[in-house]
Chains A and B, each alone.
Chain A
Amino acid sequence: MKRNIYLDYAATTPLDERVLQIMLPFFDQEFGNPSSIHRYGQKAEDAVETAREVVAEVLRCKPTEVIFTSCGSESDNLALKGVGFARRSQNDRDHIITSKVEHHAVSLTARQMQDLFGFDVTWMDVDSSGMILPQVVDEAIQENSAICSVMYANNEIGTINPINEIADICRKKGVILHSDAVQAAAYLPVHVDQLGVDLLSLGGHKFYGPKGVGALYVRKGTPILPIQTGGGQEFGLRSGTQNVPYIVGFAEALRLTDLERESRISHLKPTRDHIIGSILASIPRSKLTGHRSERLPNHCSFVFEGVDGNLLLTLLDADGFSCSSGSACKTGNPEPSEVIQLLGLSREWSLGSLRISLGQGTKAEEVEKFLTQLPGLVEKARKLQ
């Protein structure tokens, strides 16, 4: 297959070469189990603990507040279930607050806790930019609220939520705040005290780290139970032999992301704005989805009236561009995602979503080529309807 121009960095990113190099020795040379007593174990444990310190430095927290997991979704599960079950057993708090636009790792976890484990869940609405407003959180909080989970930035429409304002409200009312920062961490600062969160989920592959590794920040003193029990690794919160090379890679990728944050943003933000301006000007019946300014610097998302979003992705892929949509279904189901459906668009609009997400490999001439081709392909998709 011909290599396409990749415009789907929000789905995943390639591994940074520097990260790969740092990981490699831990597959064969330093292969020990961090829990072993001998010197192999000692070296492996040192690698994991060094990685934990690196992550803690970026998050500006204590190393003991960093739990390594297998992915962002696992971090979300541990946060919701771990805190939910702990608070219910400690002081009968069994109310969960979350929004209608969360990633499925949060929303379906909350749904399961509601349907199978007897929790009460409030599903918060968003404004027309997909933003969760602090006063909505305020209104949702009850006496028995255990945890509130609000994503830092939306994966589909790029909107950034006012996490620190939400945190102020939660703190005053004694509600634990979790934020899914899986999509945000590649570009937004993740200082946990500035954000004011009690828990924060991260996933390695969104910022040029490996797939299959994530982390959960858990503020000291937060009531939480493990959801995976066993050998007691990760301070008893996540049993299972640590994936040493991936943890090392995760930490290095996060460190580089933090170090290079400003230069990465300055490379992408003007391109993002150029794409948004160009598409809205050159394509009739097009709309930006998500917030115009409070959005991820690498993220553009649109809807086009009278277009089947999946068909547009097919036409784009065949023409050399790999993008994504709001339904992201590989088996041809055009149903718009819950998120797109919440934006107050008619069905004619919400079926035709397109997400373009940029990254370190994005070149200006590729973007120009894309912007030249897209209007014709949207027209083609409209005619095929």
Chain B
Amino acid sequence: MTRVVVAMSGGVDSSVAAALLKHQGYDVIGMMLRLWSEPGKEDSNRCCTPDAMALARRVAAQLDIPFYALDAREPFRSIVVQYFLDEYASGTTPNPCLLCNRTIRWRFLLKHALALDAEFMATGHYVKVSQDVKAGSAPDSKQTWKLLRADDRSKDQSYVLHVLDQDQLKKSMFPVGDYPKDKIRMMAKEFGLPTASRPDSQDLCFLAGEDYREFIKRNAPESMVSGDIRSTDGQLLSRHTGLSQYTIGQRKGLGFSSPNPMYVIEKRSDSNTLVVGYEDDLGKDELQVKDLNWISGYPPADSFRAEIKIRYTAREAWGEVVRLQDDNFQVRFDHPQRDITPGQAAVFYQGEIVLGGGIIV
């Protein structure tokens, strides 16, 4: 029997993923990462009764599969949370889930799954993998795994999984990616899972529902250096409380009034200046990306057309993707895009295929 470790979260998607695999006849083991929470905020989330973990353990018991908790607090804090704080301190707006997926889920957890003699690790993400079998080649020959968007585009999570490589994809299963979300909820009810009606998680797990600004204030007080708020033509308008407290496109809470609404256009960390402008100033028709990951291992060409997604919740936009001399890539949009935010990822698609992506500079 093929052994699969399912990364469980106590949510409905990973519960159904485990149930589906179990019913398909796999030898399923449930594992859950114990992630870091802020000291003092652990009380509601403490050993041994965090709700989510207790729930996942119950789901596993009902599915009659073993369940293990894996302590990932140290690597999560030192890698993911530190990155989050460092990026904000340097004036960008990071997406820590990308780093968590690459380093915690698909490295730390995968390593432990393989140590339990599992052949695959499954998660409850809405994406698909397919093996691109060329005629006459062995099915497991190199670079044949494709990452595809979920059929239910409204739930598609390929944006946060564009960081995976061939070795990781080869070991991955995404049992819920073939179904729409409401079908997954229906199946959860049919399987009788206690997670069936649990709401979807929204925010970053370690913020515990709080605004990220408060978290930064407490955990990276050194990033709270006040500076100038200036208009696009350099005029001093007000003072800010620290660049980390603002995001590109933000309109509310700038701390000064103006006859027409003003938005955060840019965070200049070298001069600790927050640049604000009018709605017209928000659109840009190009961006640059660094730290690229290509699912196949290579970019499709030095220059290619693709749909580009610049935030988890953004709508894709067509553009040209061009390799630069330093191996970074430039994106030239067909139409200007609002709120292009350094630190977020730009992910490239051709149809349902995820090509890869990188971090917006």
B115–A384 CB distance below 8 A: yes
Query: Are A331 and B47 in touch, CB under 8 angstroms?
Result: yes
B68 contact from A1, A314, A333, Cβ within 8 A: A314
Are the CB atoms of B115 and A333 closer together than 8 Å? no
Q: Say yes or no: B116 contacts A314, CB within 8 Å.
A: yes
**Contact residue among B34, B65, B116 (Cβ-Cβ distance under 8 Å from A333):** B34
CA distance A64 to B108 in the complex (A): 59
> Once bound together, how far apart are the Cα atoms of A116 and B285, in whole Å?
66
**Per-residue CB proximity of A290-332 to B under 8 Å, as 1/0?**
0000000000000000001011001101100000000001111
Cross-chain contact B34 with A332 (CB below 8 angstroms): yes
Are A318 and B116 also in contact (CB < 8 A) when A331-B48, A333-B47, A384-B111 are? yes
By a CB distance below 8 angstroms, the chain A residues around B32 are 332
| B70 on the A face (CB < 8 A) | yes
Is A347 an interface residue when CB atoms closer than 8 A count as contact? no
CB neighbours (8 Å) of B29 from chain A are 318
Extra contacts besides A317-B68, A332-B47 (6): CB < 8 Å: A308-B71, A314-B68, A314-B116, A317-B66, A332-B69, A384-B111
Number of interface residues of A (CB under 8 A): 17
Q: Which 5 pairs show the lowest CB-CB distances between chains A and B?
A: A332-B69, A332-B34, A333-B47, A332-B71, A314-B68
With A329-B48, A331-B48, A331-B50 as contacts: A315 and B116 at CB distance below 8 Å = yes
Known pairs A331-B47, A332-B34, A334-B71; A315 contacts B66 (CB<8 A): no
Q: Does A171 contact B (CB under 8 A)?
A: no
Q: Is the CB of B38 closer than 8 A to any CB of chain A?
A: no
Contacts of A333 on B, CB cut-off 8 Å? Answer: 34, 47-48, 71
Q: Mark A39-75, 1 if CB is under 8 A from B, else 0.
A: 0000000000000000000000000000000000000
Q: Are B66 and A318 in contact (CB under 8 A)?
A: yes
Within the assembled complex, what's the spacing in Å between the Cα atoms of A1 and B72?
A: 26
Which residues does chain A contribute within 8 Å of B53, judged by CB atoms? Answer: 331
- Alpha-carbon separation in the docked complex, A310 to B70 (Å): 8
List the interface of chain B (C-beta within 8 A of A). 29, 32-34, 47-50, 53, 57, 64-66, 68-72, 111-112, 115-117
Please give me the residue from chain B that is nearest to A322 by CB atom: B66
A333 to B72, CA, bound (A): 9
Given contacts A331-B53, A332-B70, contact A380 B48 (CB under 8 A): no
Q: Are A1 and B66 in contact (CB under 8 A)?
A: yes
User: A318 — which chain B residues lie within 8 A by C-beta?
Assistant: 29, 66, 68, 116-117
- The residue on A at minimum CB distance from B5 is A318
Nearest neighbor of A330 in chain B, beta-carbon distance = B48
- A331-350: which residues lie under 8 A (CB-CB) from chain B? 331-335
Q: How far is the CA of A329 from the CA of B57 in the complex (A)?
A: 13
Q: Please, which residues of chain B bring their CB within 8 A of the CB of A310?
A: 69, 71
Closest to B61 in A: A1
List the A residue with the shortest CB-CB distance to B32: A332
25 contacts between A and B (CB under 8 A): A1-B64, A1-B66, A311-B70, A311-B112, A315-B115, A315-B116, A317-B66, A318-B29, A318-B66, A318-B117, A329-B47, A329-B48, A329-B69, A330-B69, A331-B49, A331-B50, A332-B32, A332-B34, A332-B47, A332-B69, A332-B72, A333-B34, A333-B71, A335-B47, A384-B111
Contact call B65/A331, Cβ cutoff below 8 A? no
The answer to whether A331 touches B68, judged by C-beta atoms less than 8 angstroms apart, is no
**Given A1, A314, A331, A384, which contacts B34 in the complex, CB threshold below 8 Å?**
A331
> Of residues 164 to 196 in A, which have CB atoms within 8 Å of B's CB atoms?
none
Q: How far is the CA of A335 from the CA of B73 in the complex (A)?
A: 12
B69→A331 contact, CB < 8 A:
yes
Report A-chain residues with C-beta under 8 Å of the C-beta of B33. Answer: 332
Residues of chain A within 8 A of B66, CB atoms compared? 1, 317-318
Most chain A CB neighbours (cut-off 10 Å) among B47, B57, B65, B117: B47
Q: List B contacts of A380 (CB < 8 A).
A: 115
Least CB separation from A334: chain B residue: B71
Chain B residue nearest to A308 in the complex (CB) = B71
Closest to B50 in A: A331
- Cα distance, A1 to B69, chains bound together (Å): 17
Cα–Cα, bound, A311→B109 (Å): 12
Question: What residue in chain B is nearest A314 (Cβ atoms)?
Answer: B68
| Residues of the B chain whose Cβ atoms lie less than 8 Å from the Cβ of A335 | 47
- State A314–B33 Cα separation when bound (angstroms): 13
Contact between A330 and B57, CB atoms less than 8 A apart: yes
In the assembled complex, the Cα of A384 lies from the Cα of B117 at a distance in Å of: 13
Distance A330 CA – B61 CA, assembled complex (angstroms): 13
Determine the chain A residues whose CB is within 8 A of the CB of B116 once the complex forms: 314-315, 318
Q: Output the least CB separation between B34 and chain A (Å).
A: 4
Which B residues lie within 8 Å of A314 (CB)?
68, 70, 112, 116
